[in-house]
Each structure stands twice: as structure tokens, then as C-alpha cells.
Structure 1
Amino acid sequence: MVTGVRVIFLIFGVFPAFLSPTRSQLLPQECGKLRETQLHNEMEITAPNEFTWIGRVGYGESSNPDTKFPCLAVLIHQRFAILPAHCVLSDDDSGNSTAVFILFGDWRANSNFKRGDCRLERGSTTCSPPPQAVDMEQISVHPQFKLGEHDYDIALAKMVRNVELSEFVQPLCLPPAREIEGNHISRRLEMAGFVQEHSWNEAKILDVDWRRKVARHTTSLEFCTSLTEALGELTLSQNHLCGIEIEANNLMSGSPLMDVEVVDGKPRNFYLVGINTFGTVSGTASPIFIDGFMRILPFRNWILKNIEYAVP
């Protein structure tokens, strides 16, 4: 067991989406920063100040250049981030965590995470500052999660200190409390993150190690299940959301799926719809690539209750 990170299963269940005024105040006042020019620029590699809530989960000490980063986390508060539960539990179901810290503000997934990154594109060079590695103090895993199963695959990480917010590191909004169940079916939503290392194929994906954004078209659970019936591997619940694509572009577990909140006819901010927890390919003659997401709305109050419990 890696010392210093406590993994707990808190008993708080899933509550209705109603929030008390006190608990609502736990959320950041500014979140999900959106620039409409970036939203419509058709670029796959993000700008360094775009989707700035994505963190890379480090499995090892931050001083070790060989540290592995197989999962992502999503900053939702200066002290807390959401990530898949399977990313922080060991295979023997003992509750031992191998995740030590989260790297925020990283634009390029290379071994040098002590310095910022620069990229030449369209004749100009853009740079990002060095990312910040913040150790995790405690990880709250949903009490109904079981290793090897896809449901309730969500955890909340508490950092040892507040993350330093800047133009390059900012939190993402949780779903609005008034959000309606099921209104993200048959939609084109934004997904962002880093490509899974084992799926890197530079012949197909250029500049594979940069943070990127893609679109996912969401489906009904019935349609998603029908695509994978031949595989016999999926049991989906109302906590899930499926996104499909005809070309493989595998982003890491924990990559956020996002929608845009519109106010007075203008896109105001991104908010978190789901986190990627598994991926598969359809059993049909023409393969369809499927991303499985853990929806955030059903767990909104569980998340806030745990933040309220953890904040001194």
C-alpha cells in the first residue's frame, strides 16, 4: 500500500438532486470556463488554457520521471477532484491505493512534467507554464462500487492542499441542480483528455501525447446494449451513458464528457455530464467504438455530501 493516501468507503448514498443553500455554497463560484472561439475552432489538440480541469493521476512519487499516468481526474473544487473508482483500488479488492498525486495544468503527456510545454502551430508558438503536482490526502470511493463491475465507478479525491488556480488550472462545474434526467440522449457532447498509452499509434494519430478534444454522440442504453450483445460483457444501469464513434480515439479512463450551459442565448460554461470508465467495440459487422460514462447527476449530492464531510 502506498502510504499517505487514505481510501475510504463513506456510507452516504445517492440523494435527490435538491441541494440545501449551505451545501450549494461548497461549489466554486467560477467554473467550466468556456471561450466560444475555442468551442468552434475544429481543432483536435486543445489550447493550453482549454479544458483546464483535467488532471493526470500519478502512480508513484512526483519526483520519479518513470511515474505512470494511466487515469485522469477532473477538478471540481480547489481541493477536490472526481475520478473512476477502479483507478484507485488494487486488483485484490483490499482497498489499497497506488494513486499518489494528481498533475494539474499539464498540456502534453510526456515524461518531463517539471517544465511547461510549447507548441508551434499555424506559424505561432504557444506555451504553457509548468504543471503542478498535488498529493492526494484521501480518496472516497462510492460504497456500492465493486471491482470488476461497471456501476458506481466513481470516487472523490481530496488533495492535501488547495490547487493553485490560474488561466491554465480551473475547476469544472457540476451538473446544474435543475438538470433533467435523460436530456443527454442522442446528443453531440464534448470529451477531452489524453490518449491511452497502449493505444498510441502515431501512424493514425499525429502529436498523440497532447491533450485533445473529441466529440461523442450519445445513445440510449437499449441501443448501446444491442451493439454489445454479441460480446456479452456489459450490464448497464441508469447511472450510465454511452457515447459512440466510428473511429477509434481512445482517451484515458476519467476523461470528462461535457455539455454547455446556455444563459440568455449565449454559452456560459461547460459542466460535467460524465466521466469515462470503460470502452469497448461493438459486436456488429462494421465496428462501432463505444465509450461508457458514469453519469454525474445521480451522484451530485453524494459528491457534495462527501466534500461537506471532508472540509474541516
Structure 2
Amino acid sequence: MMRYCGYWFAAHLILVNGIFAASNISRTTENQNIPSRSICGFQEIDTATVGDEVGLAESPWTALLQYTLSSGKIRFLCSGSLISPRYVLTAAHCANPHSGKLTGVRFGEYSTKTEIDCLTPNNCNERPVDIEVEEIIFHENYSITDRNHYNDIALLRLKKDVPYSRFIRPICLPESNESSTTGDLLTLTKWEREGEKSEVIIKRKVKLPVVSTEQCESKYSKMITFADSQFCAGGQHKRDACQGDGGGPLLKETRADHTQWYQEGIVSFGANPCGLEGYPSVYTKVVNYLSWIYSKVRD
């Protein structure tokens, strides 16, 4: 059986799912509306955190996607990453919910349990920022019925610019020559759900090894055929993308600066249940879609 990593589908896929100002954005050769490497991909690491914990200002590009249900209730069902003041990168399947409508994006969140989060009395973040979605841009060759999940990528254009801060910053897109190889350790920013109804969401991180296409195909060969625009990572017990992580960023340090990060992949789908030993999750390879992204982002 398969699952999308954002939310559960009842379809045929059921086993194997500081401070910057916007005006400081530098011109890139590809698109002047996307931050240059002088701005993107920097975060503040909290040395007091251990294991999969993250500091309040870590992974400041990771966002929660908001869905309005028919009841009027807001739920967080997927993830995304800020790539410019006006655009969020996510998975196409996250913009095709079976219940509710994708209406907004939350930035600067650490835990949904409290409005302002504090790790210690003197270490607190700011209130999260919610911005409505103005436009959903799917890849033209994506199909919700495609069992291979090709082109599982989308952009969300926001109704207004996101205000950059210590807790809200853009992630870098990969350069055309940046790509991971088998065995490389990448970092997944994910959301851990707590409470009786899993309604409290806390930001976490997990390091995952890139898995060879051959090894990954051996697990999914009877269900899908892999494309060059997909890759696999993980496969360790209880260390995986899971429900609510779909569309989220899989990260790697840049070659020029190990304190700077770029987005290698987008969480697409994986085993059900998540975290099965030997079953890596599948990611959309961002570097394969650079031209598409540059062609869609505008003022």
C-alpha cells in the first residue's frame, strides 16, 4: 500500500503517503523575484537542542498549509517551503485535498499548542504569520490519478509578501549542478503530532540517507515506475516523513557554505504505515524543475 505524506486518500493508493527585508532580494540570473544565495538558506541553530529537536529559529522556511473544512474549521494537513516573499513550494498532491480547501499558509510556527512558543523564559519566538493563498500553480503534467506520482510539485502564490524575520526566511533552490548521491545524509524538516487527536503539531527534524534508485525500486516495483525526477531517502525504523509532512522540504548544505542550506527534495509519498524499516520515502527532485519554477514566479 502507498500513502501520500500530506493526508490520507481513499483512492486506489492505499500501502505504500538576523532579519531580512523583502526589498533586499538580490537579482539572480534565472529570476529576479527569487532570493540570491546572499540571502536564502540561513538559519539560527540552537546548540541546546538534542536529537530531533529544533530551535525556535531553525528551518525558518518551513510552513504549514491551512485547509478550511466544510465545517469552517481550519486544519494543517500538509507542509511547504518559502522560496521568495510571495511563493511557497509544495507538492501538487497537497493542493488536491479530498476534504477541505487549501486557503492559507502559516509561517514562523514552532508548536500549535501556544500562540507564542518559549523553550525557556528568555527564549521565545513571535506570533506565527498566516497569509491567504491567492493562486495555486500545479505542474502542467501532474495528474492526481497517476500512480507513479510524476511531477508532484506545485507553487502557492500568496496574497501579499511574507515579512522576513528571525523566524521566517526563504530556503535556497538548488543550483543546476547540485544533486545528492547515494549515502548522502539529508535533513527533513517535519511535523510531530501530539495529543489524543494529534491536533498539536511541533516542528522537528530528522536526518535521512539517500537510497539508491535500484534499492528503492525493489520495494515499489510492483506499484510504480520511477522517473529521473524522483529519488528516495530514509528507510530506517520510525525515521521518516509521515502524515502531515507532504510537500515539506528535504535539505542539504550548500557546497560553498556548510551553514547555508538548499532544498533537494519535496516530500511526495511513502510506505503505509510510515517509518517501516527498509521502506524509504519518495521525493520530487527539485533541481529537475528549476526552469519550471523560474517560469512561474513573478512580481
Give the Cα–Cα distance (whole angstroms) in 1 for the partners of residues 237 and 279 of structure 2. Answer: 7
**Is this contact kept in 2: 1:88–1:97, CA < 8 A?**
no
Matches within 5 A, 1:116-131: 116-120=116-120, 126-131=123-128
CA displacement at 1:38 relative to structure 2? 4.8
Matches within 5 A, 1:1-312: 22-29=29-36, 30-35=39-44, 38=46, 42-60=50-68, 66-91=73-98, 98-110=101-113, 115-120=115-120, 126-149=123-146, 150-179=149-178, 183-195=180-192, 197=193, 209-229=201-221, 232-249=222-239, 250-251=241-242, 252-263=245-256, 266-280=257-271, 287-307=277-297, 310-311=298-299
Which residue of structure 2 aligns with residue 14 of structure 1?
Answer: none
Q: Which runs of 5+ in 2 are unaligned?
A: 1-26
Give the Cα–Cα distance (whole angstroms) in 2 for the partners of residues 304 and 40 of structure 1. Answer: 38
**Is this contact kept in 2: 1:258–1:271, CA < 8 A?**
yes
> What is the TM-score when the length of structure 2 is the normalising length?
0.78
Query: What RMSD in Å do the two structures reach over aligned CA positions?
Result: 2.9
Change in CA separation of 1:34 and 1:105 when aligned onto 2, cut-off 3 Å: closer
CA displacement at 1:109 relative to structure 2? 3.4
Deviations along 1:80-134, whole A, 9 cap, x unmatched? 011111111255xxxx981000000010134x5xx211234xxx65321110000
Kindly tell me the number of residue pairs found equivalent between the two proteins: 261
Change in CA separation of 1:172 and 1:290 when aligned onto 2, cut-off 3 Å: same
CA displacement at 1:145 relative to structure 2? 0.3
**Structure possessing the higher radius of gyration over alpha carbons:** 1
Percent of paired sites with the same residue: 23
Whichever residue aligns with residue 118 of structure 1, its letter is C
CA displacement at 1:240 relative to structure 2? 0.6
Q: Which runs of 5+ in 1 are unaligned?
A: 1-19
Whichever residue aligns with residue 139 of structure 1, its letter is I
Give the Cα–Cα distance (whole angstroms) in 2 for the partners of residues 101 and 127 of structure 1. Answer: 24
CA displacement at 1:246 relative to structure 2? 1.9
Give the Cα–Cα distance (whole angstroms) in 2 for the partners of residues 133 and 298 of structure 1. Answer: 30
Give the Cα–Cα distance (whole angstroms) in 2 for the partners of residues 40 and 119 of structure 1. Answer: 10
Give the Cα–Cα distance (whole angstroms) in 1 for the partners of residues 261 and 28 of structure 2. Answer: 22
Change in CA separation of 1:248 and 1:201 when aligned onto 2, cut-off 3 Å: farther
CA displacement at 1:295 relative to structure 2? 0.7
Moved more, 219-228 or 244-253: 244-253
Change in CA separation of 1:144 and 1:281 when aligned onto 2, cut-off 3 Å: same
